[in-house]
Amino acid sequence: MVEAFNKLNEKPDVVFISGHGISHSRLGLASHFSLSTGVPTIAVANSLFEENKISDNGEDILRDNKKEKVGKVLQSKENSNPIYVSPGNMISVNTAYNIVKQMIKQPHKLPEPLHLAHKYAKEIAKELNIN
């Protein structure tokens, strides 16, 4: 991933990673990618890892084993499982969450950059006959 990123002519201001960030007990892929590239990352996961989901004032927040806030739960699409947003590095939990919310285009569940990336990956896999 870092090698592909380094080949980009224009570097993005923030990178979306499908996976975990600081919500992972040993730092997730988004954290490692950010530390390697020096670019802020936002992790979006479809499932919880080891963190606890705790409701604070009606808001679902992810906390680590020290009870520190490491992410937020976002119900981005009605009648669908939520997504779990956490920063990778160089961005706050609230900023990561707000950016993801802004990047949701209905009827999609994921923020648009990840939706388009998944769609493109499926097309390439189909061309290469990868199941």
* Residue 15 to residue 8: CA distance in whole angstroms: 12
Hey, which CATH number is domain 2-127, 3.20.20.80, 3.30.2170.10, 1.10.3720.10, 3.40.462.10? Answer: 3.30.2170.10
Which pTM value belongs to this model? Answer: 0.92
Q: Domain boundaries in the chain? A: 2-127
pLDDT at 82: 93
Q: Does the structure show a pLDDT above 80 at 13? A: yes
* Residue 5 to residue 41: CA distance in whole angstroms: 13
15 Cβ contact partners less than 8 Å away, ≥ 6 residues apart: 5, 30, 33, 34, 37, 39, 40, 41, 42, 88
For 41-87, write each residue's pLDDT tens digit: 999 999 986 656 777 777 799 988 888 899 999 999 999 999 999 99
- Give the residue, 129 or 29, on which the prediction is more confident: 29
- Give the residue, 47 or 92, on which the prediction is more confident: 92
